[in-house]
Chains A and B, each alone.
Chain A
Amino acid sequence: MNEAAISMNPGARRRVGARAGSTRRKAVRRAVRGRFGFVFQILTGGAAIALGILLWQYVASHGTHLYLDFENVPTPRDVGSALLGALQTPDFYADVGISVLRIAGSFGIAAILGVAIGVAIGRFRWFRWAFMPYIEIVRPIPAITWIPLAILIWPTTEESILFITFLGAFFPIVLNTIQGVEATPSALINAARTLGAKEWNVLFSVVLPSALPSITSGAAIGMGVSWFSLVAGEMIGGRAGIGYYTWNAYQLIQYSNIVVGMITIGLLSTLSTRLIYLMRYPLLRWQRA
C-alpha cells in the first residue's frame, strides 16, 4: 500500500531523484530540483526504459544463455509486430473490451458493497461483531483458489469469473473503508452532533468525506488485485478476454502474443488504477480548500 502511495506521488519521486543527483554540479542540482525537474524525470525515465528495451533486444536476438536462458524469448521487434497484428484483428478488441466490462461490473459491485459494509462495520458495533469474523476468515484466501468452487456454484462461467474478480477488489475496499471510518476524528463527529446533525448527516457530511482518502487507496489496491484475479479466472474458465487471449497464445506456443497479452494487462491495470486516483481529486476538494 505504501509503495503504491509513493509511486503515485510525483513529489516523492522528485525527492528521490534529487538525492541521487547530489554529487553533480550545483547548477544541475538546482535545475533538477527546480522548474525543469519534471523534464529531467521524463528524460531519465525514458532513457532507462530505452536501455531496458535495447538490452532485451540484445539478449533475445543473441539467445543469451547466462544462467537465465533467453534462447527462445521473443525480441521487442517480434512483440511489436505481434502487437501490430493483434491491433488489426477485431477479436483482440473484443477480448480487451470484455475484460474491461468484467472489471467495470465486478469492481463497481465490489466498491458499492465494500464501502457500504465497511461503513456499517466501522460505525455500528453489532455489525462489526457479526461481520468481522467472516471478513477475517475469507479475506486471506487468495481469490484464484475460489475458481473451481465458483465454477461449480454459479450458474454460468461468466458469473464465476465476475465473482472471482469481485473478491479481488472487495476485501481491500472493505478493510480500508473500516480503517478510514474509524479514523474519523471524534471531535468532528461530536461537533456535528452538537450542531444538530442526525446520524445520516454525520455519515454523509463527516464520516464519508473523512474516510475517502483511505477508501480510494483501498479501491486502488482492489483494482490491481481484481485484474490479477480476472486474468486467472479467464485463463482457467474463460471463453473470451485478455487473460483468455494470453492463455490461447500459450496453448499455441506463440511467445510474442503472450508478451502482448502481458503488456496489455499491465497497461489496462495501470490505466484503471490511475482512473481511481483521478476520480479522487474532485471528491477530495474539501481537503485542499
Chain B
Amino acid sequence: MPAKRLAIAVALSFPGILASNADAQTITIRIGHQSMCTDTYPAGVAIKGLHLLEKYLPHTGKYKGVSYDIVWRNYSSGAPITNMMLANKLDFGVMGDYPLVVNGAKFQQTRDARSILFSMTAYNLDGAGNSIAVPTSSPITSVKQLVGKDISVPIGSSAWGMLYEMAQQAGLKYSDFRVSNQTPMVGISAIAARKIDAHADFCPMTEYMEYKGTGRMIYSGAETKIPYLHGVVVTRAFAQKYPEIVVAYAKAVIAADRWIAENPHVASKKMAAWTMIPKEVLYLYFSQGGYLTPDPTIKAKWLDTLAYDHGLLAKYAHVPPLDMHQWVDASYLKTAYQQMGLNYAKQAGTLKNPQGDTHMPPQIWVAGKGIQQYGTNAAMFQALGKLTAKGQDIDAVYVYDAQSGLKMFGKTAWYVKDGTSIDAYLTKGEALREQKEKGGKVLSYTQLRAAA
C-alpha cells in the first residue's frame, strides 16, 4: 500500500518537475528578508516596495527574453534565512552582522556550498541600534543594576554580542546576568507584561517599545564602540550562474540607500506602511543625526568588525572557522557602482558617525505637516508649548543626548534645566551626574512640559 501511494506521489509531482524544466525562460530569485529589523530595509522592504530589483534586472545577452519571478520571504531573524539558504530554498539573505558571520561560517563548513557577502545595507559606527530595554515602570536605570537579573536576548543576534561587550566594559561577567534566549516578538510582550527584568535587542525593538510606552532604554550599543552592520549574502551557486543578477541586486541596494538618505521623512512614511513599524520610530534611525547611515560599501573596517564578531561567536557559540577572503566579495558591488557612474572607492573611504555632533537641531514631527527644526532644546520646547496650546497634534519629538549625540525620542529622555538652557540625556543616571557637576534641575519630559 505505501509503495502504491509513493508511486502516486511521484507521478503527481512529475508534471511539476517537467514544467519547471521546460519553462527555462523564467528565472526565480528567492530572497529572505526581515521586516522587523530596520537595518535590513535598504536591501529588503525598500527594494521590494519600490520595485527596484525589477528596475535593474538584466534583459540583454543571455537574459534576452527572460522573465523573472521574484519571491520575497519574510523572517523574524537571520537564522531561519541561513537555514533556508543551506537547504537551497533561498538565493539571497538579508541579515545583521552576527547572523551574517554564522551564515558564512556554516556555508564554509559544507563540502562545496558557499555564501558570498556582496553588499552592506547601513551601519552605525559606534554600535547604536542594539540596546537594552526595561519595563517603563522598572526601577532599573543602569546595567550595573542588572546583575543577577533575567535578561532575554535573541541568541546569535548582534544584540547578544553586545551583551558580552557590555559585560566586559562594565567590569562584569556575562554569567553575572541570567541571560536567556527570546525572540524579539516574545521579548516585546514580556517587557510589556513586566515578565522579564530586561530585554536586549536590535533596532527597532527598544525604540518601538519606547514609542508604545511599554519599555525604556537603559543602555545603547553605542557605548560598545563596535560597529552595528547589516548586509546581503547570496549563495555561490546562484552568483556563479547569474552574476549579472547579483550586480542588479547591488544596484537596487545603492538606489534604496540613496532614496532613504535623500528624503528620510518620506522614506520613513513609506517604509512604515510596508512594515507596520511606526514612521516616528523609523525616522529616529534614518533621519539626519539618526542611528543608521545608509551605505552599501564594504569598508576595510567592517572586515575587522566581522572578524571580531566571529571571534565571539567561535568562543561562545562554537561557530566554525570563517575564511573572510573567500566569503567577502565586493566585486559585484564595485561593478554596480561603476555601471551607475558612481565612485565606489570614495564612498568606501567615508565613515560617518551621526553621534559625533551633539549640536544637531532638535525636531518636532507635527502631525500632518512634517518635520520642524529648532536651534536649541529650549526653543523647541517653547514652540511645542505653542503648538499644543493651539490644539495641534504632535507625532513625535526628537532630541539628542548632550554627551553622546544619540538621537532619542523627546518623551523618553531626561533633561537638566539650568536657567534657560535645557540638555537632554538618555538615562536619568546620566542626567543626575551632569546636574551634580554643572548644577540645574533634573526633569522628565512631562515635568519639563509642565514647567515650560
Contacts and interface: CB of A to CB of B under 8 A. Distances in A.
B318 A254 contact: yes
B247 to A, nearest CB: 27
A247 B83 contact: no
Interface stretch (A32-40, A46-54, A151-159, A278-286): A151-159
Interface stretch (A135-143, A215-223, A237-245): A237-245
B44 interface: no
A237 B155 contact: no
A239 B195 CA distance: 12
A202 B86 CA distance: 63
Given A69-B88, A156-B195, A157-B195, A239 B182 contact: yes
Interface in A235-264: 236-240, 244, 247-248, 250-254
Contacts of B79: 250-253
B315 to A, nearest CB: 13
Contacts of B152: 239
B86 A252 contact: no
A256 to B, nearest CB: 10
Most buried by B among A69, A152, A252: A252
A72 interface: yes
B106 interface: yes
Interface string B66-92: 000000000001010011001110000
Interface residues of B, number: 29
B186 A252 contact: no
B150 interface: yes
Contact of B110 (A72, A244, A252): A72
Interface residues of A, number: 22
Contacts of A224: none
B190 A157 contact: yes
Contacts of A238: 180
A238 B190 CA distance: 12
B189 A151 contact: yes
A252 B317 contact: yes
B193 interface: yes
A156 B111 CA distance: 45
A169 to B, nearest CB: 24
Given A152-B193, A251-B79, A253-B79, A236 B186 contact: yes
Contacts of A76: none
A181 B154 CA distance: 49
Contacts of B193: 151-152
A250 B190 contact: no
Contacts of A240: 180
Contacts of A254: 317-318
B113 interface: yes
B184 interface: no
A237 B317 CA distance: 21
B181 interface: yes
A71 interface: yes
Nearest to B316: A252
A244 B152 CA distance: 13
A151 B87 CA distance: 33
Nearest to A247: B181
Interface of B: 77, 79, 82-83, 86-88, 102, 106, 110-111, 113, 150, 152, 154-156, 178, 180-182, 186, 189-190, 193, 195, 317-319
19 contacts: A71-B111, A72-B86, A72-B87, A151-B186, A151-B190, A151-B193, A152-B193, A155-B195, A156-B195, A237-B186, A239-B150, A239-B152, A244-B181, A248-B155, A251-B77, A251-B79, A252-B317, A253-B79, A253-B86
8 closest A-B pairs by CB = A239-B180, A251-B79, A252-B156, A251-B156, A253-B106, A72-B86, A252-B317, A251-B155
Interface of A: 63, 69, 71-72, 151-152, 155-157, 236-240, 244, 247-248, 250-254
